[in-house]
Chains A and B, each alone.
Chain A
Amino acid sequence: MLDDFMTRATLAGIGVSLAAAPLGCFVVWRRMAYFGESTAHAAMLGIALSLTFELSVLAGAVLVSLIMASSVTLLEGRSLFMDTLLGVAGHSSIAAGLVIVSFISGVRIDLMAYLIGDILAVSKLDLLMIWIGVGVIFSLIIWRWSPLLLVTLSEDLASANGFNPKKENFIITISLAIVVAVGIKVVGVLLIIALLIIPAASARFITLTPESMGFIASIIGVLSSILGLYAAYFFDTPTGPSIVCVASLFFFLFLMLNIILKNKI
């Protein structure tokens, strides 16, 4: 069954969107869209270093994303705001990554595959890695759901109840780094943030509780990746961007519903 490239691609897409959607809700609630995007950009540096030293691209991406995200969090408050620091770190990383890749001689590297993904080239090993990543993120988010929610609502309330906000925040950071890494093959470092925030933002229009928002976002994410994949197959368009386009269509659909029903949820 896994010998069919479309089956592998579909399973990869479903996996990444399943992990991205509930995590994306936290990204939306905590206004971390730019944080997520910069983390994803930092992955490009990780990819470049891995290619140079012939290491695992996945491990390199996770590691560099984590280092970037953690150091920005540590530096926050030192005369510069978070978004500025992220802008510096994220863009320096992607630029450095692209420069380093240009030094690699020999094999010509298809940069576009890393920037916007190459889901049709997902191997069995890639698929295994993606689903391990999905498993880790899903377990983390479900295990820490209530504390994460409480920290998102108020770090003070969470702390008074005995939770450590720094620890909970780090769970979000580490999950982001993993989702970026496993998303490289599917939608690439430029578009992974879309799979995080677009399903979550669409789900916001029709939901009343955090749990339902996470659930609906997952459904929208999965549908987007399946529909996007087959649309790309039939229209011969790039797959990653097609998936994101379908997700955006969902967003507009729910936005319109929200406006028409004047439903101020």
Chain B
Amino acid sequence: MLIEISKLEVKYGSKKVLQNINLTLNAGEIVTIVGPNGSGKTTLFKAIIGVIPFSKGKIKIKPNLRIGYVPQQLKVDQTLPITVERFLKLATRDNNDLKKMVAFLGLKNIYREQINNLSGGQMQRVLLARALVDAPEILLLDEATRGLDQPGIAAFYQKIENISKETNCAVLMISHDLHVVMRASDRVICVNGHVCCEGTPENVATSPEYQTLFGSNIDGAFALYRHKHDHNHDVEGKSRI
């Protein structure tokens, strides 16, 4: 057992953002959290890493658990000069591990760049490298594919799946890329302030609660999502060929 959450409740002011959340995570498991915007997914992560207090319940975390956390995004202030190299060295002192990770995620050509100058996709890779470099026992990915294109997203999750298998690292991820992530997950938890439904990807995707939130178009859920962008949209989203 790495993390055990029971009857968790988090309030912002008097508003309950999360209630009655139960979640147990074991080594090597891949668990995906889905849910609409504002459903408290990121709040759940922040409660786990301990940056926001909770009003009820318990979060039990294995002592000295090595957590690799990949946030939605990281904005570094322009006033702070820092290279990718220096940033990664904040996470580890082992140069060999670092070199391996840099090669593994293809960061060599941006290694001496300023963090501020990176593109969204490059930044995500740097954040992932940072999370992975210290051999984490659990990865927390909060919409970690932000800024990646479709092939990039597929490749990203493939990497995560491989890492998890190789190192027995558990993965807890929040994702909107339902079609891609559900395939790799052992369990899916659908959150909307509370746990709507959970279980195997198949069970969740066919459950009425999930379909109410995300619609019943589940055909794509078990295949790689292929969206051929052969048309343009105007500002209102209408198609223009």
Contact = CB atoms under 8 A, between A and B. Distances in A.
Q: What size tier do the contact residues of chain B reach?
A: 20 to 34
Nearest to A200: B79
A149 B80 CA distance: 10
Contacts of B69: 156-157, 160-161
Interface in B24-77: 46, 49-51, 64, 67-69, 71, 74, 76-77
A95 to B, nearest CB: 31
Chain B facing A: main interface SS: loop
Interface in B79-126: 79-83, 86-87, 90-91, 114
Given A153-B74, A156-B49, A208 B67 contact: no
B114 A208 contact: yes
A159 B80 contact: no
Contacts of A208: 81, 83, 114
B144 interface: no
B49 A159 contact: yes
B191 interface: no
B160 interface: no
B8 interface: no
Contacts of B76: 153
A155 B50 CA distance: 10
B83 A154 contact: no
Given A156-B69, A265-B114, A207 B74 contact: no
B140 interface: yes
Contacts of B50: 159
Contacts of B51: 155-156, 159, 165
A201 to B, nearest CB: 8
Contacts of A149: 90
Contacts of B91: 161
A31 interface: yes
Contacts of A85: none
A153 B77 CA distance: 8
A207 B83 CA distance: 11
Contacts of A211: 86
B67 A161 contact: yes
A209 B111 CA distance: 13
Given A146-B90, A160-B69, A153 B80 contact: yes
B77 A207 contact: no
A153 B64 CA distance: 22
Nearest to B136: A160
A165 B87 CA distance: 18
A75 B81 CA distance: 31
A265 B81 contact: yes
A204 interface: yes
Given A153-B76, A160-B69, A209 B86 contact: yes
Looking at A29, A157, A159, A204, the one whose CB has the most chain B CB atoms below 10 A away is A157
Contacts of A245: none
A61 B169 CA distance: 51
Contact of A156 (B71, B79, B114): B71
Contacts of B74: 153-154, 157
Contacts of A152: 80
A210 B80 contact: yes
Contacts of B81: 204, 207-210, 212-213, 265
Contacts of B80: 29, 152-153, 210
A98 interface: no
Contact of B82 (A155, A165, A210): A210
9 contacts: A149-B90, A155-B51, A157-B69, A160-B69, A161-B91, A162-B67, A165-B51, A201-B79, A265-B81
Interface of B: 46, 49-51, 64, 67-69, 71, 74, 76-77, 79-83, 86-87, 90-91, 114, 130, 140
7 shortest interchain CB distances as A-B pairs = A160-B69, A160-B49, A29-B80, A159-B51, A160-B67, A159-B49, A209-B86
